[in-house]
Amino acid sequence: MIQPRPDAAPPTDWDLSPAPETVKVRIDPESRLYIDGGFAAAADGRTFETVNPASEQTLSRVADAGSADIDRAVEAARRALRGWSRTPAIERAKYLFRIARRIQDRSRELAVLETLDGGKPIKESRDVDVPLVAQHFFHHAGWCDKLRHAVPGRDPVPVGVCAQVIPWNFPLMMAAWKLAPALACGNTCVLKPAETTPLTAIRLAEIFEEVGLPPGVVNIVTGGPETGRLLVEHGDVDKVAFTGSTEVGKRIAASCAAKRRKVTLELGGKGPHVIFADAAIDQAVEGIVSGIWFNQGQVCCAGSRLLVEERVLEEVIEKLAWRMKSLRVGDPMDKNTDVGAINSRRQLDTIRGYITRGVDEGATLHECGDRPLPDRGFWCRPTFFSGVQPSQTIAREEIFGPVLAVMSFRTPEEAVARANDTAYGLSAGVWTDKGAKALEFARRAKAGVVWCNGFNRFDPTAPFGGFRESGFGREGGAVGLREYLA
């Protein structure tokens, strides 16, 4: 860890030699749908392009699934359900185990593809995302023959055909969070990745082929919002699992309610970090860095509001500004890069809009360094605002970018009240030297996950999910399995 020395110049002038990732991956100029164990173009031949957000270059033209393709995918999943749900649990486990092993074998390739298509730094794809994806399949391989322990006193019966729609910030990880528990429970799936990051899901389909997963057990359909809508509203789907924005989640909730269909929703967040004066401040600053600037802040559970006990506020701001200046923004394929590209121009425009709003509403802007950014691509320097009022837009709305709103509190009561003063309830972090204080905060925080003296730690054994506008249902652990059992 870098020890902040406010008296020293920030290390922005360190020159590190370029350390580009050298693994070359195959990228097909045309990417197809994976339905019923085979790859095919969309029935009406439509495609859309997916670009590298760090260069704005087209990577591939991707099949845009329409209603005929969705029908075909759902029918394939329905046909496969009987065989897959009756496959002995120990055999299902072997498939999941093999998938996990192949993900490990092909981890470098998957990490590179994830970074090229999504813009996140290669060190995150390589060291965080892909290992967690493999872990998720390993973990659920172990559950296949132990499902009775997930639903004590009941027969573990699969729900059926699952429609799963995921966003672009953790494309592979979200696919694993959806597919692994569903398959472990004996369901079949139709998965739709986000339109800006479809490539790794299609690569995952190759792995399903390699391990001999029976046709139709997993189908992958690419496309935009309309493809997602057709899938979640399809008449022959038994369960919907959605991760994405609260706005779309509400629409899906309404349509599932009308159809009395089982649904889980993992939606947005505005997570608070609470730093008490007795915390180890240097470690807390590192936690804040990983909480908001990890994956360019495009994390649903990002710690995007920072609440600091008043008497250490100045110290925290000083150290944070110093540490922020040492972050390297740029080519995501360079192993030294800390902050990569924003996923799309649309998202970049949204983030910039919020930064302008923060300045207009009177908060003080602190921006990371003045090193030049690449000419092409979608870039946003890590940023934080001090002097933020809880009523201001940047303190209330999910920005989904590397922008942190810093506020203060005086008492533990006020810390809890401010932390809970949000429409969301996905994540929170507490930094203190006192275990009792941390536990009391965790008990009273309205958040699905509360990290203590750490942030953004994920584990397949731990349930993850939100309250209020962050959605309902859990993914991960035994609780997550129950969402895939009737």
List contacts with ligand NAD (CB under 6 A): 165-169, 192, 194-195, 224-225, 228-229, 232, 243-245, 248, 251-252, 266-269, 300, 398, 400, 426, 466, 470-471
Smaller CB distance to ligand NAD: residue 108 or 251?
Answer: 251
Smaller CB distance to ligand NAD: residue 382 or 463?
Answer: 463
Burial class of residue 361, CB neighbours in 10 A (0-12, 13-18, 19+) = middle
Smaller CB distance to ligand NAD: residue 195 or 309?
Answer: 195
Q: 216, 218, 154: which is closest to 181 by C-alpha?
A: 218
The least CB distance from residue 30 to ligand NAD, in Å, is 20
30 annotated active-site:
no
Residue 223 in contact with residue 32, Cβ under 8 Å? Answer: no
Name the catalytic one among 75, 114, 233, 266.
Answer: 266
The least CB distance from residue 467 to ligand NAD, in Å, is 11
Smaller CB distance to ligand NAD: residue 410 or 457?
Answer: 457
2, 215, 296, 415, 424 from 121: Cα distances, Å = 20, 34, 9, 33, 28
Smaller CB distance to ligand NAD: residue 245 or 393?
Answer: 245
CA distance 110 to 420: 38
Contacts of 309 (CB under 8 A, 6+ apart): 275, 276, 277, 408, 409, 410, 415
Smaller CB distance to ligand NAD: residue 93 or 265?
Answer: 265
The least CB distance from residue 208 to ligand NAD, in Å, is 20
Smaller CB distance to ligand NAD: residue 106 or 192?
Answer: 192
The least CB distance from residue 401 to ligand NAD, in Å, is 11
Smaller CB distance to ligand NAD: residue 33 or 316?
Answer: 33
**Residues facing residue 430 across a β-bridge:** 274, 452
Residue 358 in contact with residue 385, Cβ under 8 Å? Answer: yes
The least CB distance from residue 256 to ligand NAD, in Å, is 11
Q: 418, 77, 380: which is closest to 273 by C-alpha?
A: 418
CA distance 357 to 349: 12
The least CB distance from residue 81 to ligand NAD, in Å, is 22
Name the catalytic one among 185, 189, 300, 368.
Answer: 300
266 annotated active-site:
yes
Q: At what angle do helices 171-184 and 199-210 cross, to 10 degrees?
A: 40
Question: Which single residue is written with the structure tokens 């035994």?
Answer: 478
The least CB distance from residue 427 to ligand NAD, in Å, is 9
The least CB distance from residue 29 to ligand NAD, in Å, is 22
Residue 232 in contact with residue 163, Cβ under 8 Å? Answer: yes
Cβ-proximal residue to ligand NAD, closest one: 228
**Rg from Cα positions in the chain:** 22
The least CB distance from residue 169 to ligand NAD, in Å, is 5
CA distance 136 to 144: 13
Burial class of residue 15, CB neighbours in 10 A (0-12, 13-18, 19+) = exposed
What is the DSSP-derived secondary structure letter of residue 52? E
Smaller CB distance to ligand NAD: residue 169 or 408?
Answer: 169
DSSP 415-443: HHHHHT-SS--SEEEEE-S-HHHHHHHHH
What is the DSSP-derived secondary structure letter of residue 377? S
Q: 43, 15, 42: which is closest to 31 by C-alpha?
A: 42
CA distance 385 to 407: 9
Active site residues: 266, 300
